[in-house]
Amino acid sequence: MERLLEVSRMAVCTAYRRDGRPQMSLVTVGSFDGGLVFTTQGSRAKAKNLARDPRCALMVVTSDFRSYAVLDGDVELRTRENTDAETLRLYLREVYRATRGGQEHDNWEEYDQAMVDQERLAVILRPGRMVGVRLP
């Protein structure tokens, strides 16, 4: 999986609507905290669907669509409701680094404020299985 993330951090996230139909969106992922991580805004359908039903699949794919991996399992959400503000602030910074291959942000204070303004939360998928793997 790490080899694939060196080539691509783009993934398709599948969550499930209340009626069971899939809801899919593009996310940028990284490896951190024992799983794949990304952020989303709390107001997005993806966040609401994952809060209601933690089942999730991520398909990480290269830009030429020749290499991919599909991982699924249940997600954990780190939100302002279940994580104290300072811990969440630092956790979101680590997610940023993970999704950017270790890159630092140019202005952490600006980033922190944007995370608050956008009501960002962290999503962690610790996969139960990996299927359809074709790695570079």
Confidence of residue 115 (pLDDT cuts 50, 70, 90): very high
Query: Cα–Cα distance between 24 and 17 in angstroms, integer?
Result: 10
- Both tokens of 44, joined, read 């997005």
φ/ψ region of 42 (left if φ > 0, alpha if ψ in -120 to 50, else beta) reads alpha
CB 23 within 8 A of CB 64: no
Structure tokens at 81: 């409701």
Mean predicted confidence (pLDDT) in 1-9: 80
CATH class of 2-134: mainly beta
> pTM score, two decimals?
0.93
What's CA 69's distance to the chain center, in Å? 15
Residues 48-104 have pLDDT tens digits of 999 999 999 999 988 888 888 899 999 999 999 999 999 999 999 999 999 999 999
Which residues lie across from 16 on neighbouring strands?
A: 22
pLDDT, tens digit (0-9, with 9 covering 90-100), for 24-33: 999 999 999 9
Name every residue whose Cβ is closer than 8 Å to that of residue 3 and which is 6 or more positions away in sequence: 135, 136
d(CA 122, CA 105): 17
